[in-house]
């Protein structure tokens, strides 16, 4: 998993940004976040948006090393705060006939 570390304040993002929301600077370096993340919060959503087949849908925020966080679908029926997850890239939902891709999590 690739991360983007702000050269000025050190905040690490899981996606590319032009400007750091924390310090306003614009220079980032790519860092390796490793494979493993920990679930810090989750919800089991029973009213699932159109274009997503899984229901109920587990959504959560996981934290990689250096505090980089990522929101996404969690492919488990038994979510637990603190559980170890791996990020994978693939289809997230269908929207207006098009596939939207991105990261989701699977239990390690």
Among 3, 4, 5, 20, binds Zn ion (CB under 5 A): 20
Select 27 or 98, whichever has its Cβ closest to other proteins. Answer: 98
Q: Per CB under 8 A, does 107 bind other proteins? A: no
3-state secondary structure labels for all residues of 2-26: EEEEECCCCCEECCCCCCCCCCCCC
Phi, psi (5° rounding) for residue 93? -160, 165
- Residue number with CB closer to Zn ion (8 or 76): 8
CB of 5 to other proteins, least distance (A): 14
Count the alpha carbons within 13 Å of 12 in the hemisphere toward its beta carbon: 17
Is 6 a binding residue for Zn ion by CB under 5 A? The answer is yes
If the CB atoms of residues 29 and 89 are measured against other proteins, the closer one turns out to be 89
Binding mask 43-62 for other proteins (x = CB under 8 A): xxxxxxxxxx----x-xxx-
> Of how many residues is the chain composed?
108
| Interior/surface letters 32-51, b for 16+ CB within 10 angstroms, e for the rest | ebeeebebeebeeeeeeeee
Residues that bind Zn ion (CB under 5 A): 6, 8-9, 11, 20, 22-23
């Amino acid at each position: 998993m690739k991360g983007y570390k702000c050269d000025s304040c050190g905040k690490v993002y899981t996606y590319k940004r032009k400007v750091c929301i924390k310090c306003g600077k614009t220079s980032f370096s790519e860092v390796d976040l490793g494979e493993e993340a920990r679930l810090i919060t989750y919800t089991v959503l029973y009213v699932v948006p159109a274009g997503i087949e899984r229901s109920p849908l587990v959504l959560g925020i996981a934290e990689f090393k250096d505090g980089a966080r990522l929101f996404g679908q969690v492919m488990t029926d038994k979510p637990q705060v603190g559980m170890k997850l791996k990020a994978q890239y693939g289809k997230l939902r269908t929207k207006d006939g098009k596939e939207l891709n991105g990261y989701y999590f699977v239990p390690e």
